[in-house]
Chains A and B, each alone.
Chain A
Amino acid sequence: MQNNLNDDREKVGNRLRDARVMAGLSQEQAAQKMNLNRPAISEIESGKRKVSAEEIIQFSDLYKVDKSWLLLEEDQTNAEFPPQVRFAARELSKLKPEEMQKVIDLINMLPKK
């Protein structure tokens, strides 16, 4: 049970790190915008520190990613064509498969209404 919680915390941390990098922010910059210190961001991203619900909301606003994606609630990263992008398949087919996958991964991160 404890191991599962630690695994999830690490996965959430990995997603927060990926989202921060994709947003173009350093740990220092993210910390400043979140009113945290830099080590706190580092600990969160390595899964050593728990993230509160309020912080998840703030992170999702700052990094412009979906809260559910951060919390592993909509894990569709293995789906070849998640529902949101099915309609865009004709357009995406202009890309090479590896580039198409990058776009699909990104679409999975997008904040939903």
Chain B
Amino acid sequence: MNTLLVQAIKKAGQIRTRLKLDMFEPVNIFDICHSFGIDVQFVSINMEGMYLDVEGMEKKRILLSNLRPFPRRIFTGAHELGHHLFGHGTKVDGLIEEGVTNPPYDSDEELVDGFAGAFLMPVAGIEAEFTKRKWNMKAATPIQFFTISSVFGVGYSTLVTHCKANRLITDIQGMTLLKQSPAKILQSVMGEKVNISHFKLLDEASSLNNVDLEVGNYLILPSSMTVEGTHLKLYKKTSCGNAFVTDHSGVTRAICPLTGKSFFIRIQNAGYIGFSEYRHLEDKIKML
């Protein structure tokens, strides 16, 4: 195994241990950065992200571009946290154009990409999520992979690529899965053409503390779950559950009255600019 990847996986494990997280549970990268005393700020700058470690500065800061897709900001956040943890100093991650698969990487970038993948999507956690649903990963459908990507809060393609790189699935299966885009999966779940937006698909087996979304995103929940407040509007009933669309920013809760299982749904404005800790403040107050 590539020594950089080994180093990255070890660091991800050490950080999970330090934060008293097990090797299975999904993490929220912005909350993790906060726990390290790093400010995360979303900015309107055409890049991927940046880790700022400037001499004389009170605190370290991670900048993430609000111009990049929502799940990509999660991965970039973990990538920038990697720069902090490996002591790389200020790092700017320029724009990676869509469709460019092999940007010129140096070893630092490879290391922190490995860290981001291992930290956000631990192999043990991925395997456990498939196992508890009695899904065979080697024959899993795009919708099943999409569900697991929703659990870990990462993009569908990111999860498939990660599984391929870690030999959890074959190259051929990976290529087949990557032919399906999230937009196509959304359309197949909805059974009709809908406005394309980021979406998360959660099922009865999904066990989470928080689900983060932007205004205008979709959330598909098991029909046994109800949603509190007015932050989400029922869009339609689908074969995978009830599809909601997020209406305004704030924090609400989804609960299953039968089992008592619940999680928080935290919604930020689309293209939000600002610090991560203010991102879920109520929209209604914001609009006054």
Q: Residues on A close to B: CB < 8 A?
A: 21-29, 32, 38, 64, 84-85, 87-88, 91-92, 94-96, 99, 102-103, 106-107, 110-113
Contact = CB atoms under 8 A, between A and B. Distances in A.
Contact of B63 (A29, A32, A64, A106): A106
Interface string B197-238: 000000000000000000000000000000000000000000
Interface string B45-67: 11100101011111101010000
A64 B274 CA distance: 11
A106 B92 contact: no
A73 to B, nearest CB: 15
Interface of B: 39, 41-47, 50, 52, 54-59, 61, 63, 89-94, 272-275, 278-279, 281, 285-288
B274 A22 contact: yes
A24 B54 contact: no
Q: Which of B44, B46, B54, B286 has the most CB of A within 10 A?
A: B54
B272 A91 contact: no
Nearest to A92: B92
B274 A25 contact: yes
B50 A103 contact: yes
B43 A106 contact: yes
Nearest to A21: B273
Given A21-B273, A64-B275, A95-B47, A110 B287 contact: no
Going nearest first, the 9 A-B pairs with the smallest beta carbon separation are A24-B274, A94-B94, A91-B92, A111-B58, A88-B90, A26-B286, A24-B278, A28-B288, A84-B54
Contact of B57 (A26, A95, A111): A111
30 contacts: A24-B42, A24-B273, A24-B281, A26-B285, A26-B286, A28-B285, A28-B288, A29-B278, A29-B286, A32-B285, A38-B288, A64-B275, A84-B54, A88-B54, A88-B92, A91-B50, A91-B90, A92-B92, A94-B92, A94-B93, A95-B45, A95-B47, A96-B46, A99-B47, A102-B43, A102-B45, A106-B43, A107-B52, A110-B57, A112-B57
Given A22-B41, A91-B91, 13 more contacts: A23-B275, A24-B281, A26-B288, A64-B275, A84-B57, A87-B90, A94-B93, A95-B94, A103-B50, A107-B52, A107-B54, A112-B56, A113-B57
Contacts of A24: 42, 272-275, 278-279, 281
A70 to B, nearest CB: 14
